[in-house]
Amino acid sequence: MDVSVRQLAKTFPDGTRVLEAVDFSIASGEGVVLLGANGCGKSTLLRCMLGLEKITAGDIVIDDVSIGHARRSDLRRLRSRVGSVFQQFNLVGNLSVHQNVMFGRLGTHGLMGALSLTASTETRDKAMHCLDRVGLAHLAKRRTDTLSGGQQQRVAIARMLMQEAGIVFADEPVASLDPRAGREVMDLLFDIVRERGLTVVCVLHQIDLARAYANRIIGLKSGRIVVDGAPNDLTDDAIADLYEADRTRAEKESKEAEDARSNLRRSAASF
């Protein structure tokens, strides 16, 4: 599935401009990593691409469906073909692992077709296959919130597999995991993506992971695209520059703290 973002702008109701004139397209099968400092608009961009956030100006077209103009039912149909992986896994904690995987079919098969009690044998078997692919078939009966973070993210990947999605949006999929579990999850995710020829848009904070897994890196800064290219074409300086604004802000903050401290010292001296 291909994505085309056209002159996208997003302003929050309080007037904050999060995205401005964002323009790029992603070909089917491309593996794109979005980089940028906190608050640069990466996650908002992903949410806009899912139609979970209203677009202020411009448009996003995924597989010939215009997110800005789609009807609710079209949007739902499109979403059911978009697999999502989130930082916090976003599984239903007190249900079984198997049930959570079957929820991947809510979009296409409806509630009755995805609930353990009423789902078809085919759906139930398929969920086991998906769990087997991520190496967790033996935990199918377990309550999801008893699993480790890395395991829960694998369950989320199995749920995405269940959807038979053509594209994967991953929002900081390893930010809550330790480095080893993070590597394993990234390996699993990109193995699946490559073997099925899926398109990926993955928000990351780890530059080394971005270089290791992406075919293409897009860097956002203050809601605009400032970097776009293959990992090998991007210098470390260009990537470091993405976080520059943050660094000046951090310096300003530490200077303010220093001022406050010296003020305190001065007033203490006067006693």
Partner 1 sequence: MLDRTSDGVPPRFERPSLFVWVVILVFLAFFIQGFTQAGISVDRLVRGTSNLGRFLGMAFPPSTARLDVIARAMLETLNMAVVGVTFGVILSLPMALLCARNTTPHPIVRLIAVNIVATLRTIPDLIWALIFVVAVGLGPLAGILAIIMDTIGFCARFFSERIEETNPKPGMALRAAGASRSAVVAGAILPECFPSFVATSLFSVEKAVRSAVVLGLVGAGGIGVELTSAMNLFRYNEALTIILSILVVVIAVEQVAGAIRRRVI
Q: Residues interacting with partner 1, by CB under 8 A?
A: 50, 52, 76-84, 86, 88, 90-95, 103-104, 106-108, 110-111, 114-115, 156, 159, 163, 169, 271
- The nearest distance, CB 151 to partner 1, in angstroms, is 16
Measured CA to CA, the distance from residue 209 to residue 120 in angstroms comes to 39
> Given the complex with partner 1, which of 92 and 260 has the nearer CB atom?
92
- The nearest distance, CB 50 to partner 1, in angstroms, is 5
Measured CA to CA, the distance from residue 107 to residue 113 in angstroms comes to 10
> Given the complex with partner 1, which of 49 and 217 has the nearer CB atom?
49
Torsion of CA 163, 166, 172, 173, to 10 degrees: 50
> Given the complex with partner 1, which of 107 and 231 has the nearer CB atom?
107
Which residue in the block uniquely carries the two structure tokens 């829960």? 152
- The nearest distance, CB 85 to partner 1, in angstroms, is 9
> Given the complex with partner 1, which of 159 and 221 has the nearer CB atom?
159
Note whether 216 and 228 are within 8 A (CB).
Answer: yes
3-state secondary structure of 173: coil
- The nearest distance, CB 26 to partner 1, in angstroms, is 18
- The nearest distance, CB 114 to partner 1, in angstroms, is 7
Measured CA to CA, the distance from residue 245 to residue 5 in angstroms comes to 25
* Beta carbons within 8 Å of 20's beta carbon, 6+ residues apart: 9, 223, 224
Report the b/e string of 48-83 with b at 16+ CB within 10 A. Answer: bbbbebebbebebbbeebbbbebeeeebeebbbbbb
- The nearest distance, CB 234 to partner 1, in angstroms, is 29
> Given the complex with partner 1, which of 52 and 257 has the nearer CB atom?
52
> Given the complex with partner 1, which of 109 and 211 has the nearer CB atom?
109
